[in-house]
């Protein structure tokens, strides 16, 4: 696709009007004031008069499936919110709910220009499936929680994290990465 007469936000966060931007497959391959001589290779043209093209936003910290809990337990202290509302709710979560909640969050994110999320939750298979369908990028992790003090290799969360890294890191041509993380101190 070739965007013509479009404003851009440059690398210095300045607005530059009347630019031409060429996109081939999933890459920006041309940015300039003039229409390139090989313009036909870009396919369709889009007149961007009055519009701006800018880089996407990156969400540096997310728990996408928790969109199901938005507004649940408002105005509670952190301790009460977590222990009396969130943890009991999460104990009842299942794979299908996590998939659809992640997909909902990705739809909302993409609508507002968020193209990648650093995400942490569980049911990683279903989150990866939702990211795959959405087209968004992610660095996702299955956080490890070990309140019992089990040896790390016996901890279910550690096994799930290890398996997710081995199975999904680099998935979807590198659009989906899986990282290791500890949930909290």
Listed residue (94, 157, 163, 101) closest to 131, CA to CA: 101
**Average model confidence (pLDDT) across the chain:** 93
Q: Within this chain, do residues 168 and 90 fall inside the same structural domain, yes or no?
A: yes
Q: Within this chain, do residues 71 and 47 fall inside the same structural domain, yes or no?
A: no
The domain total for the chain is 2
| Segments forming the whole domain that contains residue 113 | 58-179
For the stretch 102-159, pLDDT in tens is 999 999 999 999 999 999 998 999 999 999 999 999 999 988 888 888 898 898 888 9
Q: Within this chain, do residues 30 and 108 fall inside the same structural domain, yes or no?
A: no
Q: Within this chain, do residues 21 and 44 fall inside the same structural domain, yes or no?
A: yes
Rounded to whole angstroms, the Cα distance separating 178 from 165 reads 5
Two structure tokens written together for 52? 């701006």
pTM here? Answer: 0.82
- Whole-number CA gyration radius for the chain: 21
Q: Within this chain, do residues 134 and 87 fall inside the same structural domain, yes or no?
A: yes
Residue 85: burial class (beta carbons within 10 Å; 0-12, 13-18, 19+): middle
Torsional sign, CA 182, 100, 105, 128: positive
In a domain, 96, yes or no: yes
Q: Above 90 in pLDDT, residue 27?
A: no
Residues with Cβ within 8 Å of 86's Cβ and at least 6 positions away in sequence, in order, are: 66, 69, 72, 73
For the stretch 7-23, pLDDT in tens is 999 889 999 999 999 99
Cα angle 70, 129, 118 (rounded to 5 degrees) comes to: 55
């Amino acid at each position: 696709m070739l965007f013509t007469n479009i404003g851009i936000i440059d690398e210095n966060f300045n607005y530059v009007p009347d630019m031409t931007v060429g996109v081939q497959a999933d890459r920006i391959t041309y940015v300039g004031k003039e229409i390139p001589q090989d313009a036909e290779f870009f396919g369709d043209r889009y007149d961007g008069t009055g519009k701006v093209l800018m880089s996407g936003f990156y969400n540096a910290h997310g728990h996408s499936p928790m969109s199901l809990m938005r507004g649940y337990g408002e105005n509670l202290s952190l301790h009460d919110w977590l222990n009396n509302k969130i943890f009991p709710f999460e104990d009842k979560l299942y794979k299908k709910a996590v998939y659809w909640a992640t997909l909902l969050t990705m739809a909302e994110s993409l609508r507002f220009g968020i193209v990648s999320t650093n995400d942490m939750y569980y049911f990683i298979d279903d989150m990866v499936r939702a990211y795959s369908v959405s087209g968004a990028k992610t660095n996702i992790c299955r956080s490890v929680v070990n309140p019992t003090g089990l040896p790390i290799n016996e901890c279910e969360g550690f096994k799930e994290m290890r398996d997710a890294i081995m199975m999904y890191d680099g998935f979807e041509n590198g659009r989906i990465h899986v990282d290791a993380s500890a949930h909290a101190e």
